Each structure stands twice: as structure tokens, then as C-alpha cells.
Amino acid sequence: MRLRLTPREDSFYDMFADSANNLVTGARLLVELISDDADRAAIAEKMRACEHAGDECTHAIMRRLNETFITPFDREDIYRLASTIDDVMDEMEEAADLVVLYKIDEFPKGVVHMVEVLERAAELTAEAMPRLRSMKELNEYWIEINRLENQGDQIYRKLLAQLFSGDYDTLTVLKLKQIIDRLEDAADAFEHVANTVETISVKES
């Protein structure tokens, strides 16, 4: 048990919760984006606003970190957690932007499944952030995120096989591959968030 003689700044917990909740918003926008008859330009604009909100959350955490002497856990881990959450949002926003820029109207079914993986990962991440206060009941979170990332890898490989099957023209293959690469990167980034949470939990236990 650690003794603390000076007060520490606990607002980081709420800031991480806000940042993670923003990921849920972003992931649900992706679900909307790839649905039939979606107004993709309008949804991508909402995604850009969501990404900007994520940047603001990240900058607020960094500012608070620079102003705070006693932090709830290691400074480097606060920085890493904020950065990895921001990475997830960046990848999702880039995927949405590419959908609009490339004027993609139809998606292979695997893209829907990948986005579903991201939505579930976002929900689990948002549920986990408040538990950083107690550092309890977090192991199921990073185990499930790891499982989802593995599932995302399988979907990604099947998508690649489908793209290179000869059913798509070369230009469409190039466009779709860039989009699914960003979705795969987002899944990887969710795992990096979970790995950071695991590191924090081990250090604080």
C-alpha cells in the first residue's frame, strides 16, 4: 500500500473517460457511414468534428499533465494512454475521409464486420476507463480487446483475399485497401490502449 502525503490530481480519470466516450461516438459514426443510402459527406463532417473533439481532450490531458506535480499514476503512462486513444480516433477519421474522397458506395461485407469490431472495442474501452480509479476488474477488458484485435486480423486477411480475387478492378482494389488498412490500424490502436491500461494496472497493483 502506497502512502501519499500530498494530494494528487485525480481529474485525469474523468478526462480519459471523456476521451474514450468520444471513441464510441466515432465508431458509431463509422457504422452509419458504411450503411446503405448514408449521407457519407455529412457523416464524414461529423467524424472530423469528433476527431477535433478528441484532439481537444488529448491537449487538455497534456496541459494538465504539465501543470500537475502529483499524478495518479506514472506521467509517461498518462502521456502514452492519451496518445494511443488519440491514435484510434485519427485512424477512424482517416478511414471515413477516404470513403468520401474515393466516392466508395459499396463495401465488401467484411468491412461491416471490421467496423463492428471497432464499435465493440470502443464500447469496452469507454467502460474500462472509469475503472482506472480503483484499478479493479480491468483484466477482462484487455483480454477481450486482444480477442477482438485477433478477430479483426482474420477479417482483414479475408478482405485482402477478396480484394485480390479478381472480382474488383485495380483502382477499386487500391481504394478499398487503403480504407481497410486504416480500419485495421484502428483495431491495432485499440489494442495499444488496452496494453497501456494493463501496464498501468500492473504497476499500480
Place of cell 449521407: 39
**pLDDT band for position 8 (50/70/90)?**
low
pLDDT at position 3: 40
**pLDDT band for position 69 (50/70/90)?**
confident
**pLDDT band for position 4 (50/70/90)?**
very low
> How far, in Å, CA of 2 to CA of 133, rounded?
15
The fraction of the chain above a pLDDT of 90, given in percent, is: 87
> How far, in Å, CA of 29 to CA of 11, rounded?
28
The rounded mean pLDDT for the chain is 94
| Sign of the C-alpha dihedral computed for residues 55, 56, 57 and 61 taken in this order | positive
pLDDT tops 80 at residue 9: no
> How far, in Å, CA of 65 to CA of 69, rounded?
8
What are the pLDDT digits (tens) for 30-53?
999 999 989 999 999 999 999 999
**pLDDT band for position 7 (50/70/90)?**
very low
What are the pLDDT digits (tens) for 116-147?
999 999 999 999 999 999 999 899 999 999 99
What are the pLDDT digits (tens) for 149-178?
999 999 999 999 999 999 999 999 999 999
pLDDT tops 70 at residue 79: yes
Name all domains of the chain by residue range, CATH numbers in brackets.
10-204 (1.20.58.220)
